[in-house]
Amino acid sequence: MPATQPQYRPVTDPAALIAATVRAIRPSDSEAAARADARQGRLTKPPGALGRLEGLATRIAGITGQSRPRLDQRLVIVAAGDHGVTAQGVSAFPAEVTAQMVANFLEGGAAINVLASHAGARVRVVDAGVRSETPEHPDLLRLRLGPGTDDISVGPAMTRALAERAVAEGIALFERERTAEGVHIVALGEMGIGNSTSAAAIIAAVTTRPPRSVTGRGTGVDDTHYELKVAAIERALEVNAPDRTDGLSLLAALGGFEIGVLAGVYLAAAAAHVPAVVDGLISGAAALIAEAIAPDAVDSFIASHRSVEPGHHAMLEHLRLEPMLDLGMRLGEGSGAALGISLCVAACRLLDEMATFDEAGVSDSDVAVEPEA
């Protein structure tokens, strides 16, 4: 379990922290990736026999700058926040469920707890802006940027100042975790009734696709609530006219507090050369915010899976990310990203721990390369 959090102190200059983090982001290390790729060619297997796992390990080598990366310290961040747009009837669940699920995360009873444990990852839960009271708990960071965002269908979700603070707090959170226990890979998850509406609005704005084409059923709404959801997104885009090239403006107009915090985590991970595993729709919307702030940050993003949500497909195409899994998942919480961590660890261990032909005393000329059946 994560260590007890030190006394929380709000970021004093959000804009400066964001700017410094963006300046520290660099493209992937092509030399480290080349060294990893060369080692792949010397391992005791036919070339390409491990399929996409080989490319995954090489990509992580480029992100980390290490030709044989080890991902021993694994972190899942689950950020929670409420959304004023729920007043428009866009969700099948009441807003109180957000706080109730936060308590469930802290007690270890949610899917993400099970999957994070399977992946050998610790879980940090964040109250980014939950309307109902959340418990005092050593594994909960209570940012509480507000009692949920405002209704995006009638105006902006938050002020730009709050958007800056949300992103900066995500950066600071990641840095605290890295300093305290180390982070070699991070998975990003979320919880928030109504957040699939904000996420779809962000995706529609960034990709310029029609809202209906990127809006799914979220928590499983019926046809009536689905139409209310689409209409709310259409109004949000009309009344806010978000600038898709300005990540902070986009977040202020349409986002959630938890989306902003996750965007900050993406930026901080990129600056620290740490792979950031993208989960589903909402985690993906946060990735779009981060990309709008710092385009080079995308080099550190790894897509864990393809959600059934149509907006998730649009996000993956926009960021040119190829997901590792397609399991028909749509839970959120970081569930798909936790599974993604397991694959990333496996890929890197194969690269690092398998013997080369020379080390094993095996002649590579005697290994027949056969096509897959």
pLDDT of residue 8: 74
pLDDT of residue 296: 97
Half-sphere exposure (CA, 13 Å, Cβ side) for 67? 9
pLDDT bracket for residue 358 (50, 70, 90): very high
Helix (H, G, I), strand (E, B) or coil at 107: helix
Mean pLDDT, to the nearest integer, of 139-158?
Answer: 97
Mean pLDDT, to the nearest integer, of 217-237?
Answer: 93
pLDDT bracket for residue 7 (50, 70, 90): low
d(CA 120, CA 75): 9
With CA atoms as reference, report the closest residue to 323 among 299, 307, 338: 307
pLDDT bracket for residue 221 (50, 70, 90): confident
All structural domains of the chain, each given as residue ranges with its CATH number in brackets, are 15-69+351-366 (1.10.1610.10), 74-344 (3.40.50.10210)
pLDDT of residue 1: 43
Planar angle of CA 195, 279, 295, nearest 5 degrees: 90
Mean pLDDT, to the nearest integer, of 72-84?
Answer: 98
- The reply to whether 333 belongs to the active site is yes
pTM: 0.94
d(CA 190, CA 88): 21
pLDDT of residue 365: 58
Higher pLDDT, 341 or 221: 341
Give the strand order in the sheet containing 140-142: 140-142, 122-129, 74-81, 185-191, 276-278, 301-303
Say which of 164, 322, 333, 372 is annotated catalytic. 333
Express each pLDDT in 15-32 by its tens digit. 999 999 999 999 999 999
pLDDT of residue 3: 47
Q: Are 216 and 199 in contact (CB under 8 A)?
A: no
- Residue showing tokens 């990852």: 121
pLDDT of residue 2: 45
- Averaged pLDDT score across all residues of the chain: 94
Express each pLDDT in 238-271 by its tens digit. 999 999 999 999 999 999 999 999 999 999 999 9
pLDDT of residue 137: 93
d(CA 220, CA 367): 52
